[in-house]
Structure 1
Amino acid sequence: MSETIETDTGTARITWHEADGARLVLALSHGAGGGVEARDLQALARVLPERGVSVALVEQPWRVAGRKVAPAPGTLDTGWRGIWPALARPGLPVVSGGRSAGARVACRTAAELGAHAVLALSFPLHPPGRPERTRAAELLGTGVPTLVVQGGNDPFGRPEEFPEGAYDLVEVAYGDHGFAVPKRAPTTQEQALETLTGGVAKWVASLG
């Protein structure tokens, strides 16, 4: 089921993948370079409803409007705030999440929106080749249980680059920023996605 939501930054869209007897809602937004068709978002939308978690794939207003360039972080945050009441409407705890730029939005807004937890997929710890421009403060400041799922070869931050902090981290071996793995890797694409969905499912099950 899809619905449109009016926000201060334009019209957003939520596509619901609902679980029977859901105990949580996992809200996932896309990154700055793609939409909710991303392989990690689609894999979670397929798998988690079977585990009692409803998945809401959220398209930010700029994407719904057909623009190809994401707006400034503050505008993304404003859009997410406008979408939040619809995500909370089922009356269930909401895990705020997303990939890349969407993960940053989830981290920055978690405390103010009352998110139950944060799922950060491919968190862009720094621009490629610029480790000094760290965004670690966003990740460390969520104030709620947080899981990072990161590709082992992500140029925006490999797992070993992440600072110690009060969050969990699952590594998808050989994965790039989109969790794609090279054909020559000893891990298949299917196995990589199973690592991702299995790690998220285990973490979500551990949430109180």
Structure 2
Amino acid sequence: MARPERTAALVPTPHRDARIIWHPAVRPRAVLALGHGAGGGVEARDLVALAAALPPHGVTVALVEQPWRVAGKKLAPAPKTLDAAWAALWPALTAPGPPVVAGGRSAGARVACRTAGELGAAAVLALAFPLHPPGRPERSRAEELTGAAGVLPLLTVQGGNDPFGRPDEFPGGHTPVEVPYGDHGFAVPKRAALTQEAALAVLTSAVTDWLTGLGHARARSGGS
């Protein structure tokens, strides 16, 4: 069966229009909504890789562009503005019917963690979670991560050399999937022992397996 074509739609929010770019599965069992970071958009390599890898496994990927990016602005607004725009998008994300996993990279991961419980997400995916500003481990944002993990299934995928938080810096009881040698954008040095393609395969395989496990758990519980 041919895979459905990608589509894009503008969605009103209290802070101008956002955009959802849909990468649909043929028979979706889940929707993964992914927000971008403060330093880039949905063209980030990890988001692009997941949008390509997941639909064949029954997961529709919805890449979400925040209003500030749609408007062509250079700087992200305050966290409460990002959260409000994300919340305004939620009805459009749930409209297709399958359960929605809230996710994102960097600042987008923070938005997902802060709002997932209130919005009724099925789980949370945090890519390149910015645990702290580079060189400032005392300014930890761990409470956002642990708050989400306390109420929902949570997967974090982190580059081994991420200056915003290496995997071994994360709080006890929370072990991220490590992409070896990866920086905050999951880029690996040319001299690394694995290629860029292999590094992204670590990420996509981990997310695919986790989402499959969530689906099996829902099936065992009767979908509740």
Per the shorter chain, which TM-score range?
A: over 0.9
1:91 Cα deviation from its structure 2 partner:
1.2
CA distance in 1, matches of 2:175, 2:169: 14
Q: Given the alignment of the two structures, is residue 179 of structure 1 paired with residue 186 of structure 2, yes or no?
A: yes
SS state of the match for residue 52, structure 2? helix
State the alpha-carbon separation in 1 of the partners of residues 122 and 175 from structure 2.
15
2:204 paired with 1:197: yes
- The gaps in structure 2 that reach 5 residues or longer are 1-6, 219-224
Q: 1:111 maps to which residue? A: 117
- Specify the code of the residue in structure 2 equivalent to 1:195: V
Distance 1:26 1:103 in 2: 12
Answering whether residue 163 of structure 2 is matched by residue 170 of structure 1, we say: no
1:29 aligns with 2:35: yes
2:155 aligns with 147
**TM-superposition CA deviations, 1:40-90 (whole Å, max 9, x none):** 000000000000000000000010000010000000000000111100001
Is the Cα–Cα contact under 8 Å of residues 151 and 159 in structure 1 kept in the other structure?
yes
Out of 49, 60, 81, the position equivalent to 1:54 is: 60
- Give the aligned partner of residue 89 of structure 1: 95
Moved beyond 3 Å, runs of 4+: none
- CA–CA distance in structure 1, aligned partners of residues 156 and 144 of structure 2: 12
2: distance between equivalents of 1:60 and 1:172?
Answer: 26
Q: CA deviation at 1:169?
A: 2.0
Partner Cα separation in structure 2 for residue 168 and residue 85 of structure 1: 32
CA RMSD of aligned residues (A): 0.7
**2:11 alignment partner in structure 1:** 5
For the residue of structure 2 that corresponds to 1:7, the secondary structure is: coil
How far apart in 2 are the matches of 1:139 and 1:96?
13
C-alpha separation in 2, matches of 1:36 and 1:17: 12
Q: Could you tell me the percent identity over the aligned residues? A: 69
Q: Select the residue among 140, 152, 161 that pairs with 1:134.
A: 140
* Structure 1 residue aligned with 2:70: 64
Task: Structure 1 unaligned segments of length 5 or more: list them.
Answer: none
Say if 2:20 is the partner of 1:14.
yes
The question of whether the paired residues in 2 share the 8 Å contact of 1:150 and 1:170 is answered with yes
How far is 1:168 from its partner?
5.4
Deviation at 1:18, TM superposition (A): 0.3
Aligned length: 207
1:27–1:95 contact (8 Å) kept in structure 2: yes
Q: Which has the larger radius of gyration?
A: 2
SS at match of 2:74: coil
Separation of aligned partners in 2, 1:91 and 1:137:
31
User: How far apart are the structure 2 equivalents of 1:168 and 1:53?
Assistant: 24
Aligned residue for 1:171, secondary structure, equals strand
**Could you say what secondary structure the match of 2:12 adopts?**
strand
1:189 to partner: Cα distance:
0.2
The CA deviation string for residues 168-206 of structure 1, in whole angstroms up to 9 with x for no partner, is 521000000000000011011000000000000000001
Q: Does 1:74 align with 2:111?
A: no
Contact 1:149–1:169, Cα closer than 8 Å, also in 2: yes
TM-score normalised by structure 2 residue count: 0.91
Task: In structure 1, give the amino acid aligned to 2:155.
Answer: L
